[in-house]
Amino acid sequence: MKIFRLNFKPILFFLFYVCILILPTLGCFNLFDWDEINFAESSREMLVSSNFSQVMINFEPFHEKPPLFFWLQVLSMKIFGIGSFAARFPNALLCIILPVVIYDIGRRLKNATFGWIWSIIFISGFLPNLYFRTGIIDPIFNLFIFLSIYFFYKYFNSLKLNNILFSGLFSGLAILTKGPVGLLIVLITVLIYFVLLRKNISLKHILSFIIIVVLVSSPWYLLELINKGPWFIVEFIQYQLELFSKPVAGHSQPLYYHFLVVLIGCFPFSFYGLKNSFRDSGFGIDFEKMMRILLWVVLILFTIVTTKIAHYSSMAYLPLSFLASIELFKIYNGKKFNSFLKYSLIIVGSFIGLILMSALFVIINHKDLILTIVKDSNTQYLLQNQMQWLGWEWLIPVLIIVGSLFSCLFLNSRLIPSLILYSIAMGLNFSLLCKFVVPNIENVIQGSAVSFYEDISSEKKYLTTVGFKSYAHYFYSKIDLLDSKDSLYNAKKKILKTNFNSLSLNELSSEDKTRFNNYVLSWYINGNIDRPVYFATKKNKINSQLEAAKNLIVIKDFGGFKFYKRELK
């Protein structure tokens, strides 16, 4: 049985889109702390250690994420080499796969025109387009969740076993990508749909769904359980619970946070889909109800979750784009384009473009003005980093204004060409920003630190950050795998045994791990080292222990960071 029927027109269009508007700028700037570098470093460590079954950071077990996305990055790094391009390539490739998939689903649900509308409007959204240019897990995670829900919908309308098996397959892959929250979203959405529409269901088929989910997702978890004992499962579950119960890493936001992120981040299709998010459009397809349920499940679930990060609600983009496509399809078939909606899109698009243009104009031409307005010491330190401007970069967001204007003016008469025009304008806007603007912004935020790490990457050394959390020093300094010949390896074992009566970090609580790291820092400063030791700290978080140490020298002090070195004697 064919899951999807290949149609080469959308494949060629999105292949062209990715090759022209995404791939050329994918590696123009370094990976960003935390998530991008975190994931890329785990993939790099898999390659360095040849241990592909375990997710690690600093070559120590990393319990927060399952391995599927890292396997994709490893494959990419095998082809392109370790770097920002390879880390982001899987999501760039997804910009071909996902739109083609939703085109085909739209074609099956209605017709090819609806499929084109849905796929094009999806890549026109700010955040969906941006995420295809990143190295984060969520785009592929969302695809698996969406496909699981789609095949469950097909099952409800056919009661065919193959559909429930495919739904289980994709739920299992979602769990293997980011954890059980993928299955949770599927089950809540499907259960609400089942209760509201009183659909028929077979208990044998549900059992088949559960068996497939377990068969796909459990082998890796069982392997971890066998190799390392129950600590990994305990730590993993505890981390998931912490996301719900408290703002992990300080990611606390107001209750309306995700609603605002989706409304602005999914412009323009959030505006088209807004009305259909609250009531039935009369489109005549039950899948609309499933998508509306999914939208609200995601928004409410991640509003409840105490840890609020923008991409947590990114699963909402797919159902919202579907609801928007219904409105656009009606316009295609003769419905008058609502004047209020038209002018709202033009005004908001122009406003966003003007805000971006103004911000860039000030950054490029009046950096001193920022220094006088912003009194935060860390920001002032960061702005010491040099930015190389050509002078016209502030004009790039005019593409958003022009795209909004022309697409709205010609939407009634030439809808699909108007959508294509806007999607290209949006893609070109991001490409130019990635080429000429983002490298300067990245350099300001972390440039001095990354360049320092790269400078010492070929050395045999120890390196640690003090007073702030980062993954950049692991990735860009190419931290190596230690063994029993290395002093740090043996020092850590001794600290564990002497101070914690333990043989493994896995046995320590979060509080004990903090104490352990303090012991290791003291060893870096005063212990019997066999390599030079480097310390990175932020200038607004100077560590008194480093300042007081007589055997450390400051070797660099610039751009918001301060670096110390302990020489090997």
Predicted local distance difference test score (pLDDT) of residue 223: 81
Q: What share of the chain is helix, strand, coil (3-state, %, to 5)?
A: 70, 5, 25
The residue ranges of the chain whose pLDDT is under 70 are 1-6, 228-252
Sign of the dihedral through C-alpha 474, 478, 479, 480: positive
Predicted local distance difference test score (pLDDT) of residue 360: 94
Sign of the dihedral through C-alpha 178, 179, 183, 184: negative
**Alpha-carbon distance 95 to 87, whole Å?**
15
Cα angle vertex 462, ends 514, 69, to 5°?
70
Strand pairing category for 561-566 and 533-538: antiparallel
Predicted local distance difference test score (pLDDT) of residue 201: 84
Q: What are phi and psi of 463, to 5 degrees?
A: -145, 135
pLDDT in tens, 31-59: 998 899 999 999 999 999 999 988 999 98
Name beta bridge partners: 564. Answer: 535, 554
Amino acid making up residue 187: L
DSSP 8-class letter at 447: I
pLDDT in tens, 405-439: 988 888 877 889 999 999 999 999 999 999 999 99
Preceding amide of 296 cis, omega within 30: no
Q: What is the CB-side half-sphere exposure of residue 77 using CA atoms within 13 A?
A: 21
**Alpha-carbon distance 158 to 154, whole Å?**
6
Name beta bridge partners: 557. Answer: 562
DSSP assignments along 401-416, one per residue: HHHHHHHHHTTTTSHH
